[in-house]
């Protein structure tokens, strides 16, 4: 990710605000990032973060869908490392909405793309969340 990209900078500020418990500020930064988006890549990143700051599960799903649609429209490798997280978030959205079949579908798509993950702690967090999502929605757990 390009740290000089204005959308990335705004999303970084939003993540910092989230970590400090300032949800309203985070949402503002993510909204500004969406409005500053210059292409599908920027819009994918901004929508991905905007989904985290929604008031309803339906709105969270809508923004996660937008992020995935924009990633699909990018047409190059810049978003490949995002797909596991994008699918994870789609799975979680469907899980929260009670649609376990769709949740499992997206958790499995995420699991199939873990080789594309960025390295480091981020990759480990995403891998763990995918495994937990699949476990929560396994048939023996009511899935």
List, run by run, the mean pLDDT of 10-residue segments along the chain (143 residues): 88 95 96 97 96 96 98 93 96 97 97 88 93 91 65
Quick one: pLDDT at residue 138? 85
Quick one: pLDDT at residue 140? 75
Q: Structure tokens of 141?
A: 């757990």
Quick one: pLDDT at residue 143? 61
CB 126 within 8 A of CB 117: yes
pTM as predicted: 0.92
Quick one: pLDDT at residue 63? 98
Q: Structure tokens of 132?
A: 């937990």
- The contacts of residue 96 (CB under 8 Å, 6+ apart) are 57, 60
- The contacts of residue 52 (CB under 8 Å, 6+ apart) are 18, 26, 30, 60
Quick one: pLDDT at residue 117? 87
């Amino acid at each position: 990710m390009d740290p000089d990209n204005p959308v990335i900078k705004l999303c970084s500020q939003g993540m910092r605000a989230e970590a400090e418990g300032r949800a309203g500020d985070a949402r503002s930064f993510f909204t500004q990032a969406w409005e500053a988006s210059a292409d599908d890549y920027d819009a994918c990143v901004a929508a991905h973060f905007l989904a985290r700051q929604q008031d309803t599960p339906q709105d969270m799903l809508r923004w996660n869908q937008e992020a995935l649609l924009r990633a699909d429209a990018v047409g190059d490798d810049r978003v490949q490392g995002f797909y596991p997280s994008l699918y994870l978030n789609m799975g979680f959205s469907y899980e929260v909405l009670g649609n376990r079949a769709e949740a499992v579908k997206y958790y499995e798509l995420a699991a199939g793309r873990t080789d594309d993950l960025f390295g480091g702690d981020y990759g480990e967090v995403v891998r763990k969340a995918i495994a937990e999502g699949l476990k929560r929605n396994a048939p023996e757990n009511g899935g």
